[in-house]
Amino acid sequence: MSAPKGWEAIRAEVLARIDRRDWAPGAVIPSEADLAEEFGVARATVNRALRELARQGVVERRRRAGTRVATHPVRKATLDIPVTRLEVEGRGQRYEFRLLERVFAAPPPVVAGRLGLAPGARLWHLRTLHFADGRPYLYEDRWLNPAPLPGRAPPAEAAQISINEWLVRNVAYTFGDISFSAEAAGEAEAAHLGIAPGAALFVIERTTWAGEVPITLVRLAYAPGYRLHTLL
């Protein structure tokens, strides 16, 4: 046990009062100014504490309306989206990858649509198999817009660096979205990953953008046993 100091102590005390139902869900808690006086600290310190609680979803804050205890404590979990190589090596396993395909082609309409590109636009299509200790670990299917790339082309097949690592080092993205789902393995995926068709795969789909320009859409299918973990 260690007693927090400063704004963390304020946060802890406010949390404790919420937990004890001193301040019930939906209720308005005292204003920053009042709390600052009660705790004998500057308002900025209270503000920092309450801002953190708001970011965690414990309270909701609005000008004039004040700070309320969240009625439905939507807990927020922060996931680290790792670079595959570091994820594998972080478990003490040997990382390798093999580029299966690298072609310049027109994507299916659904892909073009997701990236907001005109039908008929041509993209790089890259398929990569990643290994952990020599065993298939992750099947990656990526569409890559040449426009924002230096040299307008991804690294050659012989490159020693994976597409993703090359991307994060060479093309800065400003935002994106990510989704997680479970899907049954298709024939091709199953063959690459060395599993039976229909097996349950953990799938991450991600799109990234640099301003208005789409960079990439990637589908990551993890071999059975993969688990994404984080603390609340």
Please tell me the distance from the alpha carbon of residue 29 to that of residue 35, in angstroms, as a whole number.
9
Please tell me the distance from the alpha carbon of residue 40 to that of residue 156, in angstroms, as a whole number.
62
If one asks whether residue 8 binds DNA (CB under 7 A), the answer comes out as yes
Q: Which two tokens stand for residue 44?
A: 């900025």
Among 27, 41, 100, 199, binds DNA (CB under 7 A): 41
If one asks whether residue 2 binds DNA (CB under 7 A), the answer comes out as no
Q: What's the min distance (Å) between Cβ of 102 and DNA? A: 41
If one asks whether residue 13 binds DNA (CB under 7 A), the answer comes out as no
| Alpha-carbon distances, residue 50 vs 16, 20, 124 (angstroms) | 13, 17, 47
Q: CB of 138 within 8 A of CB of 223?
A: yes
Among 43, 85, 114, 125, binds DNA (CB under 7 A): 43
Residues between 64 and 93 that touch DNA (CB under 7 A): 64-67
Tokens 């801002």, residue located: 51
Please tell me the distance from the alpha carbon of residue 161 to that of residue 170, in angstroms, as a whole number.
12
Q: What's the min distance (Å) between Cβ of 165 and a copy of itself? A: 8
Question: What residues contact 53, with CB distance under 8 A and at least 6 apart?
Answer: 11, 14, 15, 59
Eight-state DSSP code of residue 108: P
Residues making contact with a copy of itself (CB under 8 A): 15, 18-19, 25, 57, 72-83, 86, 165, 168-169, 172, 174-184, 198-203, 206, 208, 222, 224, 226-232
Residues between 45 and 64 that touch DNA (CB under 7 A): 45, 47-48, 50-51, 54, 61-64
Contact region with DNA (CB under 7 A), list: 43-51, 74-82, 169-177, 193-201: 43-51
By CB under 7 A, name the binding residues for DNA. 5-9, 31-33, 40-45, 47-48, 50-51, 54, 61-67
